[in-house]
């Protein structure tokens, strides 16, 4: 056979083994050897008196050298254990004195056991564990490294490496360069570390590996029906596919930055034609990304991309809409997800009668019901109107609110509920300014059969609001936040549509005190330095508290002993009082309270002012109690905002539930103040006195 033909045959053989090892999924049946007999724990076989053939290979010198010796399993175990120690030190500290000493000790042991061929000196064996190119790498300033795009594969260049396990070691020889390739198939542990960057990987379990330009020593130990392998040395390239691959230092997840439009941007023009973002990976890994939008204005994806800025074309933007876009980026091991939001520009002033609306009604807010001039105030419009029933769209999509008659500015609103059969409507409308000295007027239009939905809920609740839960939907379908922060929650226990009952503002949720509760995941938006918490609460008759720690709702936190039995801020009922509570670092609570009877609805509000550390408690719109908290609000992660349940004493398992009704829970990141709280109570407690509807005005 000619030399060229032999080279081709060897090369084809290596390619075949490479494809088998890297494209056939790893499993415990690759070699058919039981993993529990791996050398990983030093237990090669169960019988220490049995002997087998151990073969020592030398890679890296001219040609290949191997030596076969019969050894007992005890002797083989000692060799493999020393190989394992050398591998660990050499891959993590390749230039240390300890590494050099272990190399000498290892070669000496092989010599003592007769595993060094007589044709090659001991110094030659040591030379393949100290190749010249490694010494040159030690002095260079270059830092080569390969990206790691696959979680189940490790790859390293210019590396120290080693491994051991049960299976096959396959030395191969290629000419001219790299002259030596080595493959292994089996189940065990292998590792490799780049000599310059100290980055590497550890592969465990069923695996297939390949090295090119390998220089070092390999061992195989054979018994009837069983074989072990081990190797130690250096390689120009090492790559392993395995059940478990851990990269070190630990992989750093991709980073998403510089999103455009920026998160929370308002008044984005309808002409905006792209979304833009930057992705990067501090490890230099290639990344794959995908982008989706809601509502759908465009999407895109890209595979194995480098650090850089990427754009996504979009189209079809509409006025007064919030658009969410989610970027998901992975480097093959870790995934980073980020959701951003932006508002499109408000529709320019227009006359609804010219745009297809056929009816309007004037709404008048009684200024005597307003405490102080309030800006960007969301008013409650709670009416039953048969003319809306007869002339508006069945789902109320054509209902809109305008600041004035004729050509005017549209007001942002959220329809909480609309019954097309009865004309009952609950809506929230944000008013730029509500006066306490003169009546405020706005106009409601309806009767446009071709209109799309006019509401924009997220714009009603300005950036001061971190969460607004109306609690007016079937809890099994989710608990939804109306703000841009999407603090949506989940119902637990036996909650169903039967828990949705009439409350103070339309529907509310009833909790049975047995196992019903809601949780909203911990988020940055719920951990503000200043807080206003507003809600309607009704604790059922016959409820009895246990140890005084039953918080009706609140942002949970740990106490000083890491027990999840307290709250950063919240509401509770104790000793015939309703009140606001907050946790201190010294395992005590501030409890501002006022008398309350079981079975009655109360509008409860707490404010925490960071400049004074004061907690104020309002009940039914009136300031009832003020206490100095003495410190900032205390947050510990990651504990949810919980309604109608909580923890008592040790542990993190919920162990009490409150029999109560809860309606309209709002959280703001500022002290809204007494005027806002009083006016909100007046509006929600008696909406028909707060505002009135004028007669229907048809299109002239």
d(CA 676, CA 667): 13
Instruction: Indicate whether 350 belongs to any domain.
Output: no
Helix (H, G, I), strand (E, B) or coil at 602: strand
The whole-number average pLDDT for the span 395-417 is: 96
Average pLDDT over the chain, rounded to an integer? 85
User: What's the CA angle centered on 590, arms 588 and 595, to 5 degrees?
Assistant: 125
Angle, alpha carbons 366-367-371 (nearest 5°): 125
Do 152 and 102 fall within a single domain? yes
From 155, 148, 212, select the one nearest 179 (Cα to Cα): 212
Q: Do 524 and 486 form a contact (C-beta atoms < 8 A)?
A: no
Q: Do 279 and 420 share a domain, yes or no?
A: no
d(CA 103, CA 381): 83
Both 505 and 646 in a single domain? yes
Q: Supply the pLDDT for residue 558.
A: 67
Per-residue pLDDT, 97: 84
442, 479: one domain? no
Tokens 């490479």 -> residue: 18
For the beta carbon of residue 604, count every other beta carbon within 10 angstroms.
26
88 within a domain of the structure (yes/no): yes
- The confidence band for 561, taking pLDDT boundaries of 50, 70 and 90, is low
42 pLDDT band, cuts 50/70/90, is very low
Contact criterion met (CB below 8 Å) for 495 and 476:
yes
- The label of the residue with tokens 């493999």 reads 80
- Residue 692 backbone class (left: φ over 0; alpha: ψ -120 to 50; beta: rest): beta
| Domain presence at residue 677 | no
Per-residue model confidence (pLDDT) at position 370: 97
For 611, which DSSP code? T
For residues 315, 317, 322, 328, the Cα torsion angle rounded to the nearest 10 degrees is: 0
CATH code where residue 427 lies: 2.60.40
- In this prediction, residue 631 carries a pLDDT of 84
Out of 344, 369, 398, a domain closes at 344
Q: Residue 403: what pLDDT?
A: 97
| Helix or strand (DSSP H, E) at 85 | helix 73-92
Closest CA to 379 of 322, 434, 418, 425: 434
Residue 366 has pLDDT above 90, yes or no: yes
Q: What is the DSSP letter of 461?
A: S
3-state secondary structure of 100: helix
pLDDT number for residue 32? 30
Domain that holds residue 314: 255-344
Where residue 375 falls among pLDDT bands split at 50, 70, 90?
very high
Q: Is residue 20 predicted with pLDDT exceeding 50?
A: no
pLDDT single digits (tens) 118-133: 878 888 888 888 877 7
Q: Is 672's pLDDT higher than 70?
A: yes
Identify which of 443, 480, 484 has the alpha carbon closest to the alpha carbon of residue 460.
484
Answer with the one of 301, 316, 344 that is the final residue of a domain. Answer: 344
Q: Are residues 224 and 260 in the same domain?
A: no
Q: Is residue 159 part of a domain?
A: yes
Which residue has better confidence, 136 or 28? 136
Provide the number of structural domains found in the chain: 4
In-domain check, residue 680: no
Question: Pairing relation of β-strands 335-344 and 265-268?
Answer: parallel
Residues 229 and 125 reside in one and the same domain:
yes
Task: Assess whether 486 and 546 both reside in one domain.
Answer: yes
The domain spanning residue 608 has which CATH number? Answer: 2.60.120.200
Q: Are 144 and 155 in contact (CB under 8 A)?
A: no
The per-residue pLDDT for range 144-167, each reduced to its tens digit, is 455 555 668 889 988 888 999 988
- Please give the structure tokens belonging to residue 639: 């504990």
Does residue 682 fall inside a structural domain?
A: no
**Same domain for 507 and 619?**
yes
Amino acid 559: pLDDT: 62
CA distance linking residue 156 with residue 295, whole number of Å:
44
pLDDT for 11: 41
Tens digits of residue pLDDT in 252-292: 899 999 999 999 898 899 999 999 999 999 878 899 999 99
Kindly report whether the peptide bond that precedes residue 567 is cis, defined as omega within 30 degrees of 0: no
Residue 321 shares a structural domain with residue 447: no
**CATH code at 333?**
2.60.40.1220
Assess whether 451 and 404 both reside in one domain: yes
pLDDT over 60 at 512, yes or no: yes
Q: Are residues 517 and 624 in the same domain?
A: yes
The single residue listed with the structure tokens 């106009």 is: 443
DSSP string spanning 474-513? -GGG-B-B-STT---BEEETT--GGGEEE-SSSEEEEEES
pTM score, two decimals?
0.67
Among 313, 344, 375, the domain-final residue is: 344
First-residue to last-residue Cα distance in the chain:
103
| pLDDT digit string, tens, across residues 650-662 | 656 787 889 999 9
Q: What is the dihedral of CA 494, 496, 501, 506, to 10 degrees?
A: 130
Residue 691 parent element (H or E) = strand 691-693
% of the chain at pLDDT higher than 90:
53
Q: Is 659 inside any structural domain?
A: yes
399 pLDDT more than 50:
yes
Q: What is the pLDDT of residue 3?
A: 41
pLDDT higher than threshold 60 for residue 5: no
Residue 364 CA neighbour count, 13 Å, CB half: 10
H/E element holding 689?
helix 687-690
The helix/strand/coil state of 367 is helix
pLDDT digits (tens, 9 = 90+) for 587-596: 667 889 999 9
Residue 648 reports pLDDT greater than 80: no
For 222, the token pair is 């054979």
Average pLDDT in the 371-384 region? 96
**510 and 560 assigned to the same domain:** yes
Residue 151's pLDDT is 65
Judge whether 301 lies within some domain: yes
């Amino acid at each position: 056979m000619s030399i060229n033909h032999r080279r081709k045959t060897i090369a084809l053989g290596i390619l075949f083994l490479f494809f088998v090892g890297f494209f056939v999924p790893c499993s415990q049946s690759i070699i058919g050897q039981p993993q529990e007999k791996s050398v990983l724990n030093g237990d090669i076989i169960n019988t220490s008196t049995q002997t087998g053939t151990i073969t020592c290979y030398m890679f890296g010198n001219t040609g290949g050298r191997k030596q076969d010796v019969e050894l007992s399993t005890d002797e083989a175990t000692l060799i493999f254990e020393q190989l394992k120690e050398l591998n660990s030190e050499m891959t993590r500290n390749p230039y240390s004195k300890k590494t050099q000493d272990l190399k000498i000790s290892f070669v000496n042991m092989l010599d003592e056991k007769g595993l060094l061929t007589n044709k090659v000196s001991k110094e030659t064996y040591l030379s393949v564990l100290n190749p010249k190119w490694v010494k040159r790498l030690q002095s260079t300033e270059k830092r080569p490294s390969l990206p790691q795009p696959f979680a189940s594969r490790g790859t390293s260049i210019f590396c120290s490496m080693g491994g051991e396990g049960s299976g096959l070691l396959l030395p191969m020889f290629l000419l001219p360069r790299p002259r030596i390739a080595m493959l292994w198939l089996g189940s065990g542990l292998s590792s490799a570390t780049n000599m310059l960057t100290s980055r590497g990987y550890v592969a465990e379990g069923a695996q297939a590996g390949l090295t090119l330009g390998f220089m070092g020593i390999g061992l195989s130990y054979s018994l009837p029906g069983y074989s072990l392998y081990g190797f130690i040395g250096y390689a120009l390239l090492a790559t392993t596919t395995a059940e478990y691959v851990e990269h070190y230092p630990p992989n750093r997840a991709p980073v998403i930055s510089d999103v455009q439009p920026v998160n929370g941007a308002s008044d984005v023009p309808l002409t905006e034609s792209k979304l833009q973002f930057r992705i990067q990976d501090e490890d230099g890994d290639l990344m794959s990304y995908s982008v989706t939008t809601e509502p759908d204005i465009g999407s895109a994806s890209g595979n194995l991309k480098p650090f850089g800025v990427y754009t996504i074309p979009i189209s079809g933007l509409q006025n007064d809409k919030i658009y969410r876009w989610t970027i998901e980026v992975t480097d093959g091991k870790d995934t980073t997800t980020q959701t951003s939001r932006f508002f499109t520009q408000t529709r320019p002033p227009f006359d609804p009668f010219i745009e297809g609306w056929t009816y309007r009604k004037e709404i008048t807010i009684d200024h005597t019901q307003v405490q102080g001039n309030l800006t960007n105030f969301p008013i409650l419009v709670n009416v039953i109107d048969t003319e809306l029933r007869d002339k508006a769209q069945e789902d109320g999509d054509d209902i809109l609110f305008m600041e004035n008659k004729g050509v005017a500015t549209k007001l942002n609103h959220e329809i909480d509920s609309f019954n097309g059969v009865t004309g009952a409507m609950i809506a929230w409308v944000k008013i730029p300014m509500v006066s306490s000295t003169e009546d405020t007027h706005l106009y409601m239009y309806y009767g446009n059969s071709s209109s799309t939905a006019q509401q924009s809920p997220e714009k009603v609740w300005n950036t001061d609001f971190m969460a607004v839960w109306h609690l007016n939907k079937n809890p099994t379908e989710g608990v939804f936040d109306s703000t841009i922060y999407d603090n949506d929650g989940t119902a637990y226990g036996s909650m169903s549509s039967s828990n949705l009952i009439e409350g103070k503002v339309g529907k509310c949720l009833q909790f049975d005190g047995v196992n019903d509760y809601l949780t909203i995941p911990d988020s940055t938006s719920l951990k503000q330095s200043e807080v206003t918490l507003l809600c309607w609460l009704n604790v059922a008759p016959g409820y009895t508290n246990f140890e005084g720690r039953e918080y009706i709702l609140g942002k949970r936190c740990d106490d000083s002993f890491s027990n999840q039995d307290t709250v950063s801020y919240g509401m509770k009922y104790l000793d015939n009082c309703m009140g606001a509570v907050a946790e201190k670092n010294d395992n005590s609570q501030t409890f501002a309270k006022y008398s309350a009877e079981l079975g009655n609805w109360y509008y409860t509000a707490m404010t925490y002012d960071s400049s004074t550390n004061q907690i104020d408690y309002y009940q039914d719109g009136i300031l009832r109690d003020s206490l100095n908290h003495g410190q900032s609000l205390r947050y510990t992660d990651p504990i949810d905002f919980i309604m109608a349940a909580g923890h008592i004493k040790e542990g993190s398992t919920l162990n009490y539930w409150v029999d109560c009704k809860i309606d309209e829970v709002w959280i703001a990141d500022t002290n809204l103040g007494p005027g806002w709280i009083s006016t909100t109570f007046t509006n929600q407690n008696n909406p028909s006195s707060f505002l009135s509807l004028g007669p229907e005005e048809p299109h002239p």
